[in-house]
Amino acid sequence: MINLTINGLHVAVEKGTTLLEAARFLGFPIPTLCHMEGLSPYGACRLCMVEIGEAPRAKLVSSCTYPAEEGLKVRTTSSRVLRARRMILELLLASCPQSKTIQDLASAHGIRRQRFRQEYEDCILCGLCVRICEEQMMAKAIGFRSRGENRSIGTPFDAKSDVCRLCGACMYVCPACQLRCTYNEPEKAICGGCANLTPPCIEKEQFDDMMCYMDPCVACEIKKD
């Protein structure tokens, strides 16, 4: 077992436990967007930052990817952590204002102003869809392309994927696109946020054999005739 303290509380966890798991075990809330149980930790959204170590060498790390270490002192709500978290939420909100999840998180953290130029992006590149497609659906239909500001998620060559089974898991896990997916006009229903897939709901004739995780379908409100 590994002994560490989180916000002054002592906890012993098994080797390989992440700081996020340890903190949640103790009941300390840490917001996350790119984390999901059952998927490998990725560390993309940077919301789960916690402070470790002691001044002057204290630093912030992403708790979802950082393994518990013997004797580590972790602070989940220090002023440095909160400042970082608020700035990241402000950045998220400025880029993806339509996401209910992000709106709620921002509101809970007291984000009251918007200092960056407003954008309307579909995707925060958290990679949940990529990981669920690979790790749970064993499909590997979508992946990351390019890098930096041009990074995006989609299928190779932006063509309809040969390996996609239209399971809809990617949409199910997406934290950014929920709101827009409830449109019921087909062209708007295409959720570019997670993938350039044809959403299952549009191919009505295939609706019967679809392995849709959304039951009832949260992606669209089209009822089969």
Partner 1 sequence: MKQDTAILNRDNLYAEEEIDSKDILRILEKYARSRGGLVAILEEIQSKYGYLPETALRTVSERTGRSLVDIYGVAAFYRFFSLKPKGKHLACVCLGTACHVRGAQEVVEEFEQQLGITAGQTTEDREFTLETVNCLGACALGPVVVIDGHYFSKVERSKVKQLLDQGRKGLDKLDIEKDERIFPVDVRCPHCNQSFKDETFIIDGYPSLKANVAMDHKQGWIRMSSLYGSYNVCTEHEIPEDMIVSFICPHCDSEIPGTSTCSECEAPMMPMPVDGGGRIKICTRRGCKNRMLDLV
Partner 2 sequence: MKRMGENGYVKQSFVQDTETLRLSSVNELKELRSILFETLDENKPRLVICAGTACHASGSNGIIRIVKKYILEKRLADKVALRITGCHGFCEMGPFILTEPQQAFYVQVGLGDVPRIVEALLSDKYVEDLLYRDPATGEKYYSRDDIPFFKHQQRSILGLNEKIDPIRIYDYIAQGGYSVLEEVFSKQNADWIVQQVKRSGLRGRGGAGFPTGLKWEMLAKQSGDQGKFLVCNADEGDPGAYMDRSVLEGNPHSIIEGMIIGAYGTRATEGIVYVRNEYPLAVKHLKIALKQAQELGLLGDNILGTGFSFDIKIVIGAGAFVCGEETALIRSIEGKSGEPRQRPPFPVQKGVDGKPTVINNVETWANIPLIFKSGADKFATVGTENNTGTKIFSLVGKIKNTGLVEVPMGITVKEIVYDIGGGASGKAELKAVQTGGPSGGCIPANMFDVSVDYESLAEVGSIMGSGGMIVMDENTCMVDIARYFMNFLKNESCGKCFACRKGTQRMYEILDDISNGKGTLEHLDLLKELAEVVKDTTMCGLGQTASNPVLSTLRYFTDEYIEHIEKKHCPAGVCKALITYSINENCVGCQACIRVCPEGAITGEKKQRHVIDAAKCIKCGACRSVCKVEAVDVV
User: How many angstroms separate the CA atoms of 126 and 34, rounded?
Assistant: 5
**Residue 75 touches partner 2, criterion: CB under 8 A:** no
Q: Are 130 and 153 in contact (CB under 8 A)?
A: yes
Closest approach, Cβ 35 to partner 2, in A, equals 13
Per CB under 8 A, 125 contacts partner 2: yes
The residues in 129-188 that bind partner 2, with binding defined as CB under 8 A, are 144, 146-151
User: What residue type is 13 in one-letter code?
Assistant: V
CB 136 within 8 A of CB 42: no
Whether 81 contacts 104, CB under 8 Å = no
Strands 73-75 and 49-52: antiparallel
Binding-site member from 4, 32, 52, 95 for partner 2 (CB under 8 A): 95
Chain centroid, CA 112 distance in Å: 23
Residue 86 or 165 having the CB closest to partner 1: 165
Question: Nearer Cβ to partner 2, position 65 or 198?
Answer: 65
- By DSSP bridging, strand 49-52 and strand 59-62 are antiparallel
| Subset of 148-207 contacting partner 1 (CB under 8 A) | 155-157, 162-163
User: Binding residues for partner 1, how many (CB under 8 A)?
Assistant: 13
Site membership for partner 1, residue 32 (CB under 8 A): no
Q: Which residues of this protein are in contact with partner 1, per CB under 8 A?
A: 140-147, 155-157, 162-163
